[in-house]
């Protein structure tokens, strides 16, 4: 097993006044040749959006876009005619495919909204754009990883699907619990992002907003030093 720790302070940053962003990978004006992507995971943006503001209408193409609200609500509107609000426990996926335009606005005029947005390279390009959102009862499923995103045509999956052999899990774990993660597809890697708390993986401590890239493994253990909220992304490591 190979692990690499990415401390939260080492991320790229931007402050646009209305938006405070942290970039795990090169994005916008932030470019770091050593942080382009993790396998098929291309973007992990940790955004704080001021009340009454948001991302105006903008285009995307040939990318699987996953939005995970952490606090507050995000209102989505797109060129396919979809409109809706998502909050923590709800997740949204968009296959941009041949092209789509959307806007994402903070639903509150005053409170901040905090969201994670991830982009994954698709394994199929120029698809018809699609959008889906779903509620997952994360807070009532403690000490387990809830599968929120899975590959298309995954049998019996309650997760949202995307055009890639990727699995996303979100979990809230109590202090002093230990969980084991087993790789779903051999040779895939895991990008583990600690949203809140403190955990140990491979004898290394991760604090809030730290991340770890984990490759060449069948399974690994996560030990919770405090109550923790974890996002785990399993992706193919062959680069785009």
Read off the DSSP letter of residue 156.
T
Bridge-based pairing state of the strands 189-196 and 211-215? antiparallel
* Domain 2-235, CATH class in plain words: mainly beta
- pLDDT value, residue 156: 79
Residues with Cβ within 8 Å of 184's Cβ and at least 6 positions away in sequence, in order, are 167, 234
- pLDDT value, residue 180: 98
Long-range Cβ contact pairs of 199-206 (< 8 A, separation 24 or more): 199/173, 199/223, 199/224, 199/225, 199/228, 199/230, 200/225, 201/3, 202/1, 202/3, 204/3, 204/5, 206/5
- How far apart (Å, rounded) are the C-alpha atoms in residues 196 and 182? 22
Domain definitions of the chain by residue range = 2-235
- pLDDT value, residue 56: 93
Tokens linked to 196: 């809140």
83-131 pLDDT tens trace: 999 999 999 999 999 999 999 999 999 999 999 999 999 999 999 999 9
State yes or no: pLDDT of 24 exceeds 80: yes
State yes or no: pLDDT of 240 exceeds 60: no
- How far apart (Å, rounded) are the C-alpha atoms in residues 74 and 55? 10
Question: Quick one: average pLDDT of 151-158?
Answer: 87
First to last CA, the chain: 23
Question: Quick one: average pLDDT of 167-173?
Answer: 98
Q: Helix or strand or coil: residue 165?
A: coil
Q: Helix or strand or coil: residue 16?
A: coil
- How far apart (Å, rounded) are the C-alpha atoms in residues 10 and 210? 9
The count of other CB atoms within 10 Å of the CB of residue 14 is 15
DSSP per position, 57-83: EEEE-S-EEEEEEEES-EEEEETTS-E
Q: Whole-model pTM above 0.85?
A: yes
* Phi/psi of residue 10, nearest 5 degrees: -85, 0
Question: Quick one: average pLDDT of 12-21?
Answer: 96
Tokens linked to 19: 């938006």
Quick one: pLDDT band at residue 157, thresholds 50, 70, 90?
A: confident
- pLDDT value, residue 239: 64
47-94 pLDDT tens trace: 999 999 999 999 999 999 999 999 999 999 999 999 999 999 999 999
Bridge-based pairing state of the strands 178-182 and 219-224? antiparallel
Burial category of 187 from C-beta neighbours within 10 Å (exposed 0-12, middle 13-18, buried 19 and up): exposed
Bridge-based pairing state of the strands 228-235 and 167-173? antiparallel
Question: Quick one: average pLDDT of 3-9?
Answer: 98
Percent of all residues in the chain with a pLDDT value above 90, rounded to a whole number:
95
176-220 pLDDT tens trace: 999 999 999 999 999 999 999 999 999 999 999 999 999 999 999
Read off the DSSP letter of residue 128.
P
State yes or no: pLDDT of 132 exceeds 80: yes
**∠ CA(230), CA(232), CA(237), 5° rounding?**
155
């Amino acid at each position: 097993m190979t692990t690499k720790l990415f401390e939260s302070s080492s991320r790229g940053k931007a402050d646009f006044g209305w938006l405070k962003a942290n970039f795990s990978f090169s994005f916008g004006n932030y470019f770091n040749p050593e942080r382009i992507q993790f396998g098929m995971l291309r973007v992990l943006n940790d955004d704080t959006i001021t009340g009454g503001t948001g991302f105006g209408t903008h285009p995307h193409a040939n990318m699987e876009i996953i939005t995970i609200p952490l606090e507050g609500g995000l209102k989505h509107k797109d060129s396919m005619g979809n409109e809706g609000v998502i909050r923590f426990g709800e997740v949204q996926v968009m296959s941009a495919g041949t092209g789509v335009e959307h806007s994402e606005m903070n639903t509150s005029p005053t409170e901040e909204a905090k969201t994670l947005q991830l982009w994954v390279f698709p394994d199929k390009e120029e698809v018809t754009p699609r959008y889906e959102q779903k509620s997952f009862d994360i807070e009532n499923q403690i000490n387990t990883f809830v599968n929120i995103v899975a590959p298309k045509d995954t049998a019996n999956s309650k997760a949202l699907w995307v055009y890639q052999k990727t699995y996303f899990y979100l979990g809230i774990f109590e202090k002093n619990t230990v969980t084991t993660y087993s790789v779903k597809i051999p040779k895939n890697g895991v990008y583990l992002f600690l949203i809140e708390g403190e955990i140990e993986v491979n004898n290394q401590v991760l604090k809030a907003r730290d991340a770890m890239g984990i490759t060449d493994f069948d399974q690994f253990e996560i030990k919770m030093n405090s109550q923790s909220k974890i996002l785990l992304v399993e992706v193919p490591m062959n680069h785009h």
